[in-house]
Structures are given as C-alpha cells and as structure tokens.
Amino acid sequence: MTVTAYTLAVLLDLFVVFIGARFLFRPGPAAAGYGVPADPHGDASAYLAIKGLRDGTLGLLGLALLAFAGATAEAWFMLAVAVVPLGDTLIVLRHGGTRAVAFGIHFATAVVVLVSAALLFAV
C-alpha cells in the first residue's frame, strides 16, 4: 500500500504542476478544459495566469512535503487541498459549465485527492 500511496500522491502533484503550466502557457485551451472557456487575451488573462501560478505552486508544495516532511504531512496537505477541486466544481456549475465537466473532472478529482489522503494516512 505504501507504493500505491506515494505513487498516487506524486502523480497528483505532478498533474497539478502540469495544469498550472498549461494555464500559464496555453491559457485558452486550459480554460476550455477547465469547463469555463475564457478569452486568454481579454479581461480574463490575469485570472488565468493566477490560476496557473496557484496550481503550479500547490503541486510543487505537495512534492516538497512528500520528499522532505513525509507521508503524514502530505496526507494533511491532500486533505486540505481537496477543497480546491470541490470549489472548482461549484465554479463550473455557477458559470455555465456542464454538469459532466463539473462532476466528471472536478468532483472526481476531489474524490481521488481524498483517496490519496486516506492512503497516505494509512502508511
């Protein structure tokens, strides 16, 4: 179970770094994939960059916690950071996104992050 817990945590952290980079370097497609399309050259460009920076930083923080503080610290981090995809679910629903994206991407991500936290607490 230890290998599974660490592997899932690393994959989730790297995925969030990837999402952050995508919002920084390809904001239009990233916003569309998020579920609420935005014009990357319009008023939303600063907010897309902020999201990219936020996500990239959270992913790097998760990797640092796992590497230097251990599984329990990473588990608490995952538990706390699960609020982000839960909030993203509500944002997509409130701003005209589809239920499929809201629940199929964001809510499902929150569930996987909570599973990761549970696995890390168990090791």
Cα distance between residue 83 and residue 68, in whole Å: 23
- Tell me the residue type at 122: A
Supply the DSSP symbol for 123. Answer: -
In the predicted structure, residue 43 carries a pLDDT above the cut 80: no
* Domains in the chain, number: 1
Q: Quick one: pLDDT at residue 40?
A: 65
- When mean pLDDT is compared across 1-10, 11-20, 28-37, the lowest value belongs to 28-37
The per-residue pLDDT of the chain, averaged, comes to: 95
Q: Quick one: pLDDT at residue 115?
A: 98
- Region for 39 from its dihedrals, namely left if φ exceeds 0, alpha if ψ lies in -120 to 50, beta otherwise: beta
Residue with tokens 């929150």: 110
Domain that holds residue 72: 2-122
- C-alpha distances (whole Å) from 49 to each of 15, 20, 46, 79, 85 are 17, 8, 5, 25, 18
Give the predicted TM-score (pTM) of the model.
0.92
In the predicted structure, residue 100 carries a pLDDT above the cut 80: yes
